[in-house]
Amino acid sequence: MLRKSIIAGNWKMNGHLADSKEKVTELVNLLKNLDPKADLVICPPYTLISELYRILNDKNINLGGQDSHFATKGAHTGDISPAMLKDLGCKYVILGHSERRVNHQESNEIINKKVKAAIGNGLIVILCIGESLEEKNFNKTLDVITKQIEESLPKTLDSQNLVIAYEPIWAIGTGLVPNLEDIKIVHAHIRQVLTKVISKEQADKIRILYGGSLKADNSKEILELEDVDGGLIGGASLIPADFVAIIKNSK
């Protein structure tokens, strides 16, 4: 099955207007003579989206939010709705990132509602899943991931609207990555669970990204793996040259 890869940058809570505009301009220049094989996405903080959209609008680099609420509007201080992201020009939204699950106590049940709302508003969801170090050490990785998929995904789904990002929590921002065999096993398992939860036909088309300390120097071997359809990149996406090096390594 041929799936087009996605290389997505998660800027997290980094960047002000001036330096971020410079950053994406540099990125656009570095990509000028490249014909990336992957779909490209940047998920900056909300405050930067509309300004960056002006620069990226016609450049084949899509924008995404880092979270969105399940409600359409209302009394939710500090939150943002999927329709608001769409309004700013976003095509994607990251949901269920471990930093949201841990720091904001987001349960699979809440994430399920968010996924439904985001898809309902025409966004492509990048759903993050992954185990903690403790869960890994107790050999619970596949169980945790199965439960996250089963509970976070709505019953009816179209593969076009969903991307899964496997991000072991212990690999995020630490410089540690699982060995290649483990990544292969987990990604194959994710596709198997998606087959059960949705359908084989849809599951075959869903892109499954790897995330967690994905860097220029380890991206080639990871992105080449079967069932790895791209990457979700934190730290290295803040350095345009590094991000481009990863893009070059995508299949």
Active-site amino acid positions: 97, 167
Q: What are 16's two structure tokens?
A: 């002000």
Closest approach of Cβ 54 to ligand PGA, in Å?
25
Closer to ligand PGA by CB, 189 or 215: give it: 215
Nearest 10 degrees: CA dihedral of 11, 14, 18, 22? -40
Closest approach of Cβ 72 to ligand PGA, in Å?
27
Residue 102: exposed, middle, or buried by beta-carbon count in 10 A (0-12, 13-18, 19+)? Answer: exposed
Closer to ligand PGA by CB, 43 or 198: give it: 43
Closer to ligand PGA by CB, 96 or 198: give it: 96
Residues that bind ligand PGA (CB under 6 A): 10, 167, 172-173, 211-214, 232-236
| Residue partners of 79: CB distance under 8 A and separation at least 6 | 68, 69, 71
Q: Which of 234, 176, 177, 243 is nearest to 216 (CA)?
A: 243
Closer to ligand PGA by CB, 82 or 211: give it: 211
Which residue of the chain is nearest ligand PGA when measured via CB?
A: 234
Q: For 209, left (φ over 0), alpha (ψ -120 to 50), or beta?
A: beta
Closest approach of Cβ 145 to ligand PGA, in Å?
16
Closest approach of Cβ 169 to ligand PGA, in Å?
9
